[in-house]
Amino acid sequence: MEVAAPAPKHKVKKQINLFYCAECEELALKVAASSDAIQLQSINWRNFPDGFPNLFINNAHDIRGQHVAFLASFSSPAVIFEQISVIFALPKLFIASFTLVLPFFPTGSFERVEEEGDVATAFTLARVLSMIPKSRGGPTSVVIYDIHALQERFYFGDDVLPCFETGIPLLLQRLRQLPDAENITIAFPDDGAWKRFHKLLVNFPMVVCAKVREGDKRIVRIKEGNPEGRHVVIVDDLVQSGGTLRECQKVLAAHGAAKVSAYVTHAVFPNQSYERFMTANSAGPGDQFAYFWITDSCPQTVKAISRHSPFEVLSLAGSIADALQI
């Protein structure tokens, strides 16, 4: 008598109660829409007359014994304190586990002390997050996308579990959809970006740029690779003023690139510096980016530029939903 083989077991998804800051409401809705295992919860974000937070976590009793996550955006020092207050309160509500999703770690590029007196605020923020109380299930998981330097994982203490994710799979998916997908070359604006991302993009020809000093100026040059006739996509973790990306675009176009596009996970763009990249503000076809892909890790930027060419938003929502199941 033959015995039927047991049916393969399907992993049961954790049911997640997802809280979020006010800035992340749109992203939180997308995360919840991408998974039937995620239920949105809410917080009353209020202030006392003196300006300090007056916060209330709704359904605090109902989430006991449940898996809980919080979607944060530390877009400015002004909003960090109120979110930290909630982040420190949630694990104490007798929950089964706690995950903090902080798509953009904002002080990541301030990780070095180059002279006595410099303050490495990346280390400061990591220490603050390392003090998040344990839940009944143990240490908090901290999900961060494309942190500026991978060695920053060692800034976190043993009482949290940093989980570093990347937005590069979203870029790869989008590149496969392009009509000239077979003609893509990846460019890096400096050696740091190459070290950070080249192993995730090994199937593409590559160009590496570098800044060199000429007199009193630092000028972008091509260090290796050939962009001639190619659709070149510049890849980096973040953009601030965008000066380096602009200089890379000019150099690549001057060396015969057919098109130049860009991808950054974190579109910070302080002081509306994104305006210099808008197609409407370009000097002509040779000055334009074909595409400028960003993620929604910086919600305020997305709200400002998502409808303007050449920008296109690749949402982290599905990736965040998957990360919450780790």
- Residues 180 and 271 placed together within one structural domain of the fold: yes
133 and 83 assigned to the same domain: yes
- Residue 288, domain member (yes or no): yes
Q: Is residue 322 part of a domain?
A: no
**Strand 38-40 relative to strand 259-267, pairing:** unpaired
What gap in Å lies between CA 28 and CA 31, rounded to an integer? 5
Q: Please report whether residue 10 resides in a domain.
A: no
270 lies in a domain?
yes
Total of domains in the chain:
2
Q: Are 79 and 73 in contact (CB under 8 A)?
A: yes
Give mean pLDDT, residues 296-312. Answer: 95
Asked which of 123, 143, 165 is the last residue of a domain, the reply is 165
Closest CA to 220 of 264, 186, 189: 189
Residues 309 and 175 in one domain: yes
Q: Are residues 58 and 76 in the same domain?
A: yes
124 and 209 within one domain: no
Q: What is the pLDDT of residues 201-228, one digit of tens each?
A: 999 999 999 988 776 777 899 999 999 9
6 belongs to a structural domain = no
Which residues are CB-contacts of 134 (< 8 A; sequence separation ≥ 6)?
91, 140, 159
Answer yes or no: do 177 and 287 share one domain.
yes
Whether this model's pTM surpasses 0.75: yes
- Which tens digit of pLDDT belongs to each residue from 114-136? 899 999 999 999 999 999 999 99
- Residue 284 belongs to domain spanning: 168-314
Domain boundary among 165, 198, 229: 165
Q: In which band, very low, low, confident or very high, does the pLDDT at 266 lie, cut at 50, 70 and 90? A: very high
CATH at residue 79? 3.40.50.2020
Do 22 and 160 reside in the same domain of the chain? yes
The stretch 283-290 carries a mean pLDDT of 76
Q: Is residue 131 part of a domain?
A: yes
Judgement on whether residues 149 and 107 belong to the same structural domain of the protein: yes
Indicate whether 288 pLDDT > 70.
Answer: yes
Tell whether 145 and 222 lie within a shared domain. no
93 — alpha (psi -120 to 50), left (phi > 0) or beta? Answer: alpha
Domain final residue, candidates 144, 165, 186: 165
Tell me 271's DSSP state. G
The pLDDT score that the predictor gives to residue 243 is: 92
Listed residue (164, 310, 165) closest to 233, CA to CA: 310
DSSP string, 188-218: ESSHHHHHHHGGG-TTS-EEEEEEEEETTEE
Q: Assess whether 269 and 154 both reside in one domain.
A: no
Please indicate, yes or no, if residue 8 is contained in any of the structural domains. no
Mean pLDDT of all residues belonging to the chain = 94
Quick one: 92 and 215 in the same domain? no
Looking at the structure, do residues 144 and 177 belong to the same domain, yes or no?
Answer: no
